[in-house]
Amino acid sequence: MRDPAVLDAQDALGYLRQRFQLPDNTVYLDGNSLGVLPAAVPARLERLLREEWGRDLISSWNRHDWIGMPISVGEKIAALVGAGPGQVLCCDSISLNLFKLLTTALQLRPGRSVILSQRDNFPTDLYLAEGISDLLGDARCTLRSVPLEQLAGAMNSEVAVLMLTQVNFRDGSLHDMQALTRAAHAQGILVLWDLAHSAGVLPIQLDAWEVDMAVGCGYKFLNGGPGAPAFVYLAERHQNQVSQPLSGWLGHAQPFAFEPGYRPAPGIRRYLAGTPGILGMAALDTALDCFEGVSMAALRAKSLALSSCFIEGIEEDLTAGELCLLTPRDGARRGSHVALSHPHAWGVSQALIEAGVIVDFREPDVVRFGFAPLYNSFADVACAVDRLRHILASALYRDARFRQRPQVT
Protein backbone atom coordinates (compact mmCIF):
# COMPACT_ATOMS: atom_id res chain seq x y z
CA MET A 1 0.00 0.00 0.00
CA ARG A 2 1.25 3.49 -0.83
CA ASP A 3 2.45 5.76 1.97
CA PRO A 4 -0.73 7.28 3.50
CA ALA A 5 1.15 10.31 4.84
CA VAL A 6 2.27 11.19 1.32
CA LEU A 7 -1.22 10.64 -0.09
CA ASP A 8 -2.81 12.80 2.60
CA ALA A 9 -0.25 15.54 1.99
CA GLN A 10 -1.15 15.51 -1.70
CA ASP A 11 -4.91 15.42 -1.08
CA ALA A 12 -6.44 18.64 -2.41
CA LEU A 13 -9.64 17.92 -0.44
CA GLY A 14 -7.96 17.21 2.88
CA TYR A 15 -9.00 20.60 4.30
CA LEU A 16 -12.65 19.50 4.22
CA ARG A 17 -12.06 17.19 7.17
CA GLN A 18 -12.03 20.31 9.39
CA ARG A 19 -15.70 20.85 8.59
CA PHE A 20 -16.64 17.83 10.72
CA GLN A 21 -16.49 16.73 14.35
CA LEU A 22 -14.61 13.45 14.23
CA PRO A 23 -14.23 11.57 17.53
CA ASP A 24 -10.69 11.04 18.81
CA ASN A 25 -9.01 7.66 18.34
CA THR A 26 -11.71 6.53 15.94
CA VAL A 27 -11.63 5.68 12.25
CA TYR A 28 -15.15 6.18 10.97
CA LEU A 29 -15.95 4.10 7.89
CA ASP A 30 -19.72 3.96 8.27
CA GLY A 31 -20.67 7.16 6.47
CA ASN A 32 -22.64 5.04 4.02
CA SER A 33 -25.12 4.44 6.87
CA LEU A 34 -24.80 7.59 8.99
CA GLY A 35 -22.60 10.54 8.15
CA VAL A 36 -20.37 12.30 10.66
CA LEU A 37 -21.62 15.38 12.53
CA PRO A 38 -20.72 18.57 10.62
CA ALA A 39 -18.98 21.06 12.91
CA ALA A 40 -21.45 23.86 12.14
CA VAL A 41 -24.60 21.90 13.00
CA PRO A 42 -24.55 22.20 16.84
CA ALA A 43 -24.39 26.01 16.68
CA ARG A 44 -27.17 26.07 14.07
CA LEU A 45 -29.44 23.94 16.24
CA GLU A 46 -28.59 25.92 19.35
CA ARG A 47 -29.52 29.14 17.56
CA LEU A 48 -32.75 27.59 16.33
CA LEU A 49 -33.66 26.40 19.81
CA ARG A 50 -32.69 29.61 21.60
CA GLU A 51 -33.73 32.31 19.12
CA GLU A 52 -36.14 30.87 16.58
CA TRP A 53 -38.22 28.41 18.59
CA GLY A 54 -37.33 29.81 22.03
CA ARG A 55 -37.79 33.53 21.34
CA ASP A 56 -39.72 33.97 18.12
CA LEU A 57 -41.93 30.91 18.56
CA ILE A 58 -44.61 30.46 15.92
CA SER A 59 -43.63 33.63 14.10
CA SER A 60 -40.51 31.74 12.93
CA TRP A 61 -42.56 30.01 10.24
CA ASN A 62 -42.47 33.38 8.46
CA ARG A 63 -39.65 35.30 10.15
CA HIS A 64 -37.11 32.53 9.65
CA ASP A 65 -38.86 30.96 6.65
CA TRP A 66 -39.40 27.58 8.24
CA ILE A 67 -42.27 27.10 5.81
CA GLY A 68 -39.93 27.44 2.83
CA MET A 69 -37.29 24.99 4.01
CA PRO A 70 -38.52 21.93 2.06
CA ILE A 71 -38.01 23.98 -1.11
CA SER A 72 -34.76 25.76 -0.17
CA VAL A 73 -33.08 22.62 1.18
CA GLY A 74 -34.34 20.73 -1.85
CA GLU A 75 -32.60 23.23 -4.12
CA LYS A 76 -29.30 22.66 -2.29
CA ILE A 77 -29.67 18.93 -2.89
CA ALA A 78 -30.63 19.55 -6.51
CA ALA A 79 -27.23 21.12 -7.12
CA LEU A 80 -25.57 17.88 -5.99
CA VAL A 81 -27.62 15.57 -8.21
CA GLY A 82 -27.73 17.53 -11.45
CA ALA A 83 -31.30 18.80 -11.22
CA GLY A 84 -32.56 22.19 -12.32
CA PRO A 85 -34.78 24.43 -10.17
CA GLY A 86 -38.25 23.36 -9.09
CA GLN A 87 -37.71 19.60 -9.26
CA VAL A 88 -36.33 18.54 -5.86
CA LEU A 89 -38.18 18.72 -2.57
CA CYS A 90 -36.79 17.83 0.86
CA CYS A 91 -39.42 16.04 2.89
CA ASP A 92 -40.53 12.89 4.68
CA SER A 93 -38.64 9.59 4.35
CA ILE A 94 -37.53 7.53 1.38
CA SER A 95 -40.38 5.11 2.04
CA LEU A 96 -43.07 7.81 1.91
CA ASN A 97 -41.49 9.41 -1.13
CA LEU A 98 -41.33 6.07 -2.93
CA PHE A 99 -45.04 5.63 -2.30
CA LYS A 100 -45.75 9.04 -3.80
CA LEU A 101 -43.63 8.46 -6.89
CA LEU A 102 -44.58 4.85 -7.60
CA THR A 103 -48.27 5.72 -7.51
CA THR A 104 -47.52 8.73 -9.71
CA ALA A 105 -45.77 6.49 -12.22
CA LEU A 106 -48.70 4.08 -12.34
CA GLN A 107 -51.03 6.99 -13.08
CA LEU A 108 -48.72 8.37 -15.76
CA ARG A 109 -48.70 5.00 -17.54
CA PRO A 110 -52.35 3.88 -17.69
CA GLY A 111 -52.74 0.38 -19.04
CA ARG A 112 -49.41 -0.70 -17.51
CA SER A 113 -49.39 -2.25 -14.05
CA VAL A 114 -45.92 -3.67 -13.42
CA ILE A 115 -43.25 -2.20 -11.16
CA LEU A 116 -40.01 -3.80 -12.34
CA SER A 117 -37.05 -4.04 -10.00
CA GLN A 118 -33.88 -5.95 -9.27
CA ARG A 119 -34.27 -8.92 -6.95
CA ASP A 120 -31.54 -7.75 -4.57
CA ASN A 121 -32.68 -4.13 -4.56
CA PHE A 122 -32.83 -2.46 -1.16
CA PRO A 123 -35.61 -4.28 0.73
CA THR A 124 -37.64 -1.22 1.74
CA ASP A 125 -38.07 -0.31 -1.93
CA LEU A 126 -39.45 -3.76 -2.65
CA TYR A 127 -41.60 -3.73 0.48
CA LEU A 128 -43.22 -0.45 -0.62
CA ALA A 129 -43.98 -1.88 -4.05
CA GLU A 130 -45.50 -4.97 -2.44
CA GLY A 131 -47.64 -2.76 -0.22
CA ILE A 132 -48.93 -0.77 -3.19
CA SER A 133 -49.77 -4.01 -4.98
CA ASP A 134 -51.68 -5.25 -1.94
CA LEU A 135 -53.53 -1.94 -1.73
CA LEU A 136 -54.47 -1.62 -5.40
CA GLY A 137 -54.72 -5.27 -6.37
CA ASP A 138 -52.74 -7.19 -9.00
CA ALA A 139 -54.79 -5.80 -11.88
CA ARG A 140 -53.52 -2.30 -11.13
CA CYS A 141 -50.09 -3.02 -9.66
CA THR A 142 -47.72 -5.98 -9.59
CA LEU A 143 -44.14 -6.07 -8.43
CA ARG A 144 -41.85 -8.05 -10.71
CA SER A 145 -38.32 -8.47 -9.33
CA VAL A 146 -35.72 -10.26 -11.40
CA PRO A 147 -31.97 -10.95 -11.22
CA LEU A 148 -29.74 -8.23 -12.62
CA GLU A 149 -28.93 -10.15 -15.78
CA GLN A 150 -32.64 -10.47 -16.61
CA LEU A 151 -33.55 -6.79 -16.30
CA ALA A 152 -33.20 -5.94 -19.97
CA GLY A 153 -35.33 -8.87 -21.06
CA ALA A 154 -38.03 -8.00 -18.52
CA MET A 155 -38.62 -4.52 -19.95
CA ASN A 156 -41.83 -4.75 -21.97
CA SER A 157 -45.18 -3.03 -22.55
CA GLU A 158 -46.58 -4.25 -19.21
CA VAL A 159 -44.02 -2.30 -17.18
CA ALA A 160 -45.02 1.16 -15.97
CA VAL A 161 -41.86 1.95 -14.00
CA LEU A 162 -38.39 0.55 -13.49
CA MET A 163 -37.29 1.06 -9.87
CA LEU A 164 -33.58 0.63 -9.13
CA THR A 165 -30.98 1.72 -6.59
CA GLN A 166 -27.92 3.27 -8.21
CA VAL A 167 -25.47 1.68 -5.75
CA ASN A 168 -26.30 -1.75 -4.37
CA PHE A 169 -26.47 -1.53 -0.58
CA ARG A 170 -24.78 -4.90 -0.01
CA ASP A 171 -21.97 -5.26 -2.52
CA GLY A 172 -21.42 -1.61 -3.53
CA SER A 173 -21.83 -2.30 -7.26
CA LEU A 174 -22.85 0.65 -9.42
CA HIS A 175 -25.52 0.70 -12.11
CA ASP A 176 -25.06 2.64 -15.34
CA MET A 177 -27.92 5.03 -14.67
CA GLN A 178 -27.83 6.72 -18.04
CA ALA A 179 -27.79 3.49 -20.07
CA LEU A 180 -30.55 1.79 -18.08
CA THR A 181 -32.74 4.89 -18.19
CA ARG A 182 -32.31 5.07 -21.94
CA ALA A 183 -33.13 1.36 -22.35
CA ALA A 184 -36.28 1.69 -20.26
CA HIS A 185 -37.45 4.78 -22.15
CA ALA A 186 -37.10 2.87 -25.42
CA GLN A 187 -39.85 0.60 -24.09
CA GLY A 188 -42.03 3.48 -22.86
CA ILE A 189 -41.09 2.76 -19.23
CA LEU A 190 -40.59 5.45 -16.60
CA VAL A 191 -37.53 5.14 -14.34
CA LEU A 192 -37.29 5.79 -10.61
CA TRP A 193 -33.80 5.80 -9.05
CA ASP A 194 -33.01 5.41 -5.36
CA LEU A 195 -29.92 7.54 -4.66
CA ALA A 196 -29.53 6.66 -0.97
CA HIS A 197 -25.98 5.35 -1.40
CA SER A 198 -24.88 7.73 -4.13
CA ALA A 199 -26.13 11.28 -3.44
CA GLY A 200 -23.17 13.25 -2.14
CA VAL A 201 -20.42 10.97 -3.48
CA LEU A 202 -21.21 10.37 -7.15
CA PRO A 203 -21.52 12.87 -10.01
CA ILE A 204 -25.20 12.45 -10.89
CA GLN A 205 -26.93 14.21 -13.78
CA LEU A 206 -30.65 13.62 -13.33
CA ASP A 207 -31.72 16.19 -15.92
CA ALA A 208 -29.05 15.44 -18.50
CA TRP A 209 -29.70 11.70 -18.27
CA GLU A 210 -33.46 12.31 -18.60
CA VAL A 211 -34.28 10.52 -15.36
CA ASP A 212 -37.99 10.65 -14.53
CA MET A 213 -38.01 10.29 -10.76
CA ALA A 214 -35.63 9.80 -7.86
CA VAL A 215 -35.52 9.56 -4.08
CA GLY A 216 -32.67 9.76 -1.60
CA CYS A 217 -31.99 10.15 2.10
CA GLY A 218 -30.31 12.94 4.03
CA TYR A 219 -28.47 10.99 6.72
CA LYS A 220 -25.84 9.04 4.78
CA PHE A 221 -23.30 10.88 2.60
CA LEU A 222 -25.24 14.16 2.99
CA ASN A 223 -24.47 14.08 6.75
CA GLY A 224 -27.83 15.43 7.87
CA GLY A 225 -28.00 13.38 11.07
CA PRO A 226 -29.97 10.33 12.27
CA GLY A 227 -33.43 10.27 10.70
CA ALA A 228 -32.70 13.33 8.56
CA PRO A 229 -35.42 14.11 6.02
CA ALA A 230 -35.24 12.55 2.59
CA PHE A 231 -35.72 14.11 -0.84
CA VAL A 232 -37.87 13.54 -3.88
CA TYR A 233 -37.13 14.46 -7.51
CA LEU A 234 -39.74 14.63 -10.23
CA ALA A 235 -38.72 15.87 -13.67
CA GLU A 236 -40.55 19.02 -14.65
CA ARG A 237 -42.05 17.35 -17.72
CA HIS A 238 -44.06 15.02 -15.45
CA GLN A 239 -45.29 17.64 -13.00
CA ASN A 240 -48.91 18.81 -12.77
CA GLN A 241 -50.23 15.80 -14.69
CA VAL A 242 -51.46 13.71 -11.76
CA SER A 243 -51.96 14.08 -8.00
CA GLN A 244 -50.05 11.93 -5.55
CA PRO A 245 -52.29 10.15 -3.02
CA LEU A 246 -50.72 11.46 0.22
CA SER A 247 -52.70 14.66 -0.18
CA GLY A 248 -51.72 16.35 3.06
CA TRP A 249 -52.40 19.98 3.80
CA LEU A 250 -48.99 21.38 2.81
CA GLY A 251 -49.41 19.89 -0.67
CA HIS A 252 -52.58 21.95 -1.09
CA ALA A 253 -52.57 24.93 -3.46
CA GLN A 254 -53.51 27.22 -0.52
CA PRO A 255 -52.71 25.38 2.74
CA PHE A 256 -53.95 28.17 4.99
CA ALA A 257 -57.25 28.59 3.18
CA PHE A 258 -58.39 25.41 4.96
CA GLU A 259 -60.82 24.55 2.21
CA PRO A 260 -63.02 21.46 2.61
CA GLY A 261 -61.74 19.93 -0.63
CA TYR A 262 -58.23 19.22 -1.85
CA ARG A 263 -56.63 21.23 -4.67
CA PRO A 264 -53.04 20.15 -5.38
CA ALA A 265 -50.31 22.78 -5.43
CA PRO A 266 -48.56 23.35 -8.74
CA GLY A 267 -45.21 21.76 -9.48
CA ILE A 268 -43.07 19.84 -7.02
CA ARG A 269 -44.89 21.38 -4.03
CA ARG A 270 -47.77 18.95 -4.40
CA TYR A 271 -45.41 16.22 -3.17
CA LEU A 272 -45.44 17.76 0.28
CA ALA A 273 -47.79 16.15 2.76
CA GLY A 274 -47.52 16.97 6.47
CA THR A 275 -45.71 19.64 8.47
CA PRO A 276 -41.91 19.30 8.10
CA GLY A 277 -39.70 18.56 11.10
CA ILE A 278 -37.75 21.80 11.37
CA LEU A 279 -34.98 20.58 13.69
CA GLY A 280 -33.97 17.81 11.30
CA MET A 281 -34.43 20.05 8.29
CA ALA A 282 -32.17 22.72 9.79
CA ALA A 283 -29.45 20.18 10.59
CA LEU A 284 -29.50 18.88 7.01
CA ASP A 285 -29.58 22.42 5.61
CA THR A 286 -26.40 23.28 7.51
CA ALA A 287 -24.76 19.96 6.68
CA LEU A 288 -25.19 20.61 2.97
CA ASP A 289 -22.98 23.68 3.30
CA CYS A 290 -20.05 21.26 3.74
CA PHE A 291 -20.19 20.74 -0.03
CA GLU A 292 -19.60 24.41 -0.76
CA GLY A 293 -16.74 24.97 -3.19
CA VAL A 294 -16.31 21.25 -3.94
CA SER A 295 -17.00 19.54 -7.25
CA MET A 296 -18.67 16.14 -7.31
CA ALA A 297 -16.03 15.01 -9.80
CA ALA A 298 -13.28 15.75 -7.26
CA LEU A 299 -15.17 13.93 -4.51
CA ARG A 300 -15.66 10.94 -6.78
CA ALA A 301 -11.96 10.84 -7.64
CA LYS A 302 -10.99 10.83 -3.96
CA SER A 303 -13.61 8.22 -3.13
CA LEU A 304 -12.17 5.88 -5.74
CA ALA A 305 -8.63 6.55 -4.52
CA LEU A 306 -9.60 5.70 -0.93
CA SER A 307 -11.39 2.48 -1.83
CA SER A 308 -8.63 1.43 -4.25
CA CYS A 309 -6.01 1.86 -1.52
CA PHE A 310 -8.12 -0.23 0.82
CA ILE A 311 -8.49 -3.05 -1.69
CA GLU A 312 -4.76 -2.96 -2.43
CA GLY A 313 -4.02 -3.10 1.29
CA ILE A 314 -5.96 -6.30 1.89
CA GLU A 315 -4.90 -8.05 -1.32
CA GLU A 316 -2.88 -10.72 0.49
CA ASP A 317 -5.81 -11.53 2.77
CA LEU A 318 -8.12 -11.90 -0.22
CA THR A 319 -5.86 -14.51 -1.81
CA ALA A 320 -4.80 -16.38 1.31
CA GLY A 321 -7.83 -16.68 3.57
CA GLU A 322 -11.63 -16.82 3.89
CA LEU A 323 -12.07 -13.15 3.06
CA CYS A 324 -13.82 -12.42 -0.25
CA LEU A 325 -14.22 -9.11 -2.09
CA LEU A 326 -17.82 -8.57 -3.20
CA THR A 327 -17.39 -5.08 -4.61
CA PRO A 328 -16.19 -4.71 -8.21
CA ARG A 329 -12.48 -3.97 -8.56
CA ASP A 330 -13.25 -1.78 -11.56
CA GLY A 331 -13.76 1.69 -10.10
CA ALA A 332 -16.27 2.59 -12.80
CA ARG A 333 -18.52 -0.18 -11.48
CA ARG A 334 -18.47 0.57 -7.75
CA GLY A 335 -19.91 3.20 -5.46
CA SER A 336 -18.27 4.53 -2.31
CA HIS A 337 -18.25 1.50 -0.05
CA VAL A 338 -16.35 -1.77 -0.18
CA ALA A 339 -18.07 -4.98 0.89
CA LEU A 340 -16.21 -8.04 2.10
CA SER A 341 -17.70 -11.41 2.92
CA HIS A 342 -16.36 -13.69 5.65
CA PRO A 343 -17.88 -16.72 7.42
CA HIS A 344 -17.54 -14.81 10.72
CA ALA A 345 -18.46 -11.38 9.35
CA TRP A 346 -20.39 -10.34 12.47
CA GLY A 347 -17.43 -11.11 14.70
CA VAL A 348 -15.05 -9.35 12.31
CA SER A 349 -17.20 -6.21 12.31
CA GLN A 350 -17.48 -6.16 16.10
CA ALA A 351 -13.75 -6.73 16.60
CA LEU A 352 -13.05 -3.82 14.25
CA ILE A 353 -15.44 -1.56 16.16
CA GLU A 354 -13.80 -2.50 19.45
CA ALA A 355 -10.45 -1.64 17.85
CA GLY A 356 -11.73 1.84 16.95
CA VAL A 357 -12.62 1.23 13.29
CA ILE A 358 -16.37 1.78 12.88
CA VAL A 359 -17.82 -0.34 10.07
CA ASP A 360 -21.14 -2.11 9.65
CA PHE A 361 -22.49 -5.59 9.01
CA ARG A 362 -25.14 -6.84 6.62
CA GLU A 363 -26.73 -10.27 6.59
CA PRO A 364 -25.69 -12.91 6.03
CA ASP A 365 -21.91 -12.47 5.97
CA VAL A 366 -20.98 -8.96 4.80
CA VAL A 367 -18.74 -6.33 6.38
CA ARG A 368 -19.03 -2.90 4.74
CA PHE A 369 -16.40 -0.15 4.73
CA GLY A 370 -17.87 3.20 3.69
CA PHE A 371 -15.49 5.85 2.36
CA ALA A 372 -16.73 9.43 2.71
CA PRO A 373 -14.35 11.67 0.73
CA LEU A 374 -15.42 14.81 2.58
CA TYR A 375 -13.72 13.65 5.76
CA ASN A 376 -12.00 10.26 5.40
CA SER A 377 -8.24 10.26 4.97
CA PHE A 378 -5.70 7.83 3.59
CA ALA A 379 -4.42 7.43 7.15
CA ASP A 380 -7.92 6.15 8.00
CA VAL A 381 -7.58 3.57 5.25
CA ALA A 382 -4.15 2.43 6.46
CA CYS A 383 -5.41 2.08 10.02
CA ALA A 384 -8.44 0.06 8.90
CA VAL A 385 -6.26 -2.25 6.81
CA ASP A 386 -3.79 -2.78 9.65
CA ARG A 387 -6.45 -3.59 12.24
CA LEU A 388 -8.44 -5.80 9.88
CA ARG A 389 -5.35 -7.83 9.04
CA HIS A 390 -4.53 -8.25 12.73
CA ILE A 391 -8.07 -9.41 13.52
CA LEU A 392 -7.99 -11.93 10.69
CA ALA A 393 -4.52 -13.25 11.50
CA SER A 394 -5.27 -13.64 15.21
CA ALA A 395 -8.82 -14.97 14.68
CA LEU A 396 -9.92 -12.46 17.29
CA TYR A 397 -13.37 -12.48 15.68
CA ARG A 398 -14.01 -15.89 17.28
CA ASP A 399 -14.02 -14.44 20.79
CA ALA A 400 -17.24 -15.11 22.69
CA ARG A 401 -17.84 -11.41 23.37
CA PHE A 402 -18.46 -10.84 19.67
CA ARG A 403 -21.33 -13.32 19.39
CA GLN A 404 -24.17 -11.33 20.92
CA ARG A 405 -26.19 -9.20 18.51
CA PRO A 406 -28.12 -6.07 19.58
CA GLN A 407 -31.35 -4.88 17.97
CA VAL A 408 -29.52 -2.66 15.45
CA THR A 409 -26.87 -4.46 13.41
Q: Supply the residues annotated as catalytic.
A: 122, 194, 219-220, 368
Q: How many residues does the chain have?
A: 409
Helix (H) or strand (E) holding 159: strand 159-165
What counts of helices (H) and strands (E) characterise the chain? Answer: 13, 13
- Backbone dihedral angles phi then psi of residue 185, each to the nearest 5 degrees: -60, -30
According to DSSP H, which parts of 245-365 are helical?
Answer: 278-287, 296-313, 315-320, 345-354
According to DSSP H, which parts of 191-269 are helical?
Answer: none
Q: Residue 130 contacts by C-beta under 8 Å, 6 or more apart in sequence? A: 143
Helix (H) or strand (E) holding 97: helix 94-108
- Backbone dihedral angles phi then psi of residue 156, each to the nearest 5 degrees: -145, -170
Integer Cα distance of 145 and 209 in angstroms: 24
Burial readout 134-143 (b: 16 or more C-beta within 10 A, e: otherwise): eeeeeeebbb
Pairing of strands 366-370, 360-362: antiparallel
Integer Cα distance of 199 and 168 in angstroms: 13
According to DSSP H, which parts of 177-277 are helical?
Answer: 177-186
Q: Are 340 and 350 in contact (CB under 8 A)?
A: no
Helix (H) or strand (E) holding 114: strand 114-118
